[in-house]
Amino acid sequence: MAVIVLSAAIAFLVVSHFFIGVNKTRVAVVGDSLTAQATWSIIDELNNHGYNSTVAGVNGATVADEARQLESLTLPGGSDIVVVALGTNNAFFASMTDSRHIDPDSSKRDIHDAMTRVFEGQPGQQWQPSTRCLVWVNVSDQSPLLALDKNGPILNHMIDDEAGGFRAKGRRVVVADWAGASRAQPDWFLADRVHLTPEGERAYANVIRTAVDRCF
């Protein structure tokens, strides 16, 4: 199941929901297969709490894979809040010994680069750096099958470090603690202890929305 759902073959899903004539805070969610699974739960959770949401989930996506997608959100008129739900595949591929291997130093650089792109966009752009809020969803650390029990904590430490560094520069960064929220909730996961049951999808959406609320 994990090999199929987390394969490098890209299955792209983008779902948008807009309320015409209503000025709502715009939230863009960019993630991997967990986001793809929970798309409608995320949309319902955000929109039911007054947000205008766009959700894009790509199976097998790493942080670096979605760099251009994140950069596109920095254009003028883009989202007010960007949610990045990436890192699970970085932690998974850290255990690989073939061409898919991603070492921790590369993941750290990619996380830093992704946060930089959200706030600063393309090098040499003419518009001012963004004042938007970034929410980064950390990684479940409970799956021996995907080696997330070993590599998840390392990845999450990197996310916390980079978030702290950008906050020190005056940026608005919130870490959504999916690892902590889900650690004692086996009913939220399928057999691989990564992908989500319907209950887990709703919980995942709630963790995201609660973190988005903290942007204010």
Which domains, ranges and CATH numbers included, belong to the chain?
2-15+23-213 (3.40.50.1110)
User: What pLDDT, in 10s, does the model give residues 30-39?
Assistant: 999 999 999 9
122-146 tens-digit pLDDT: 666 656 656 789 999 999 999 999 9
| pLDDT of residue 164 exceeding 90 | yes
What's the whole-number mean pLDDT along residues 96-117?
95
**In this prediction, what percent of the chain has a pLDDT beyond 90?**
75
Reported pTM: 0.88
**pLDDT at residue number 127:** 60
Give the DSSP letter of residue 189: B
Structure tokens at 37: 């699974």
Instruction: Check whether 8 has a pLDDT greater than 80.
Output: no
In Å, the largest CA–CA distance within the chain is 52
The Cα–Cα gap between 99 and 112 comes to 23
Average pLDDT over residues 175-181: 98
What is the SS3 assignment for 10-70?
CCEEEEECCCCCCCCEEEEEEECHHHHHCHHHHHHHHHHCCEEEEEEEECCCCCHHHHHHH
Contact 56, 35 (CB under 8 A): yes
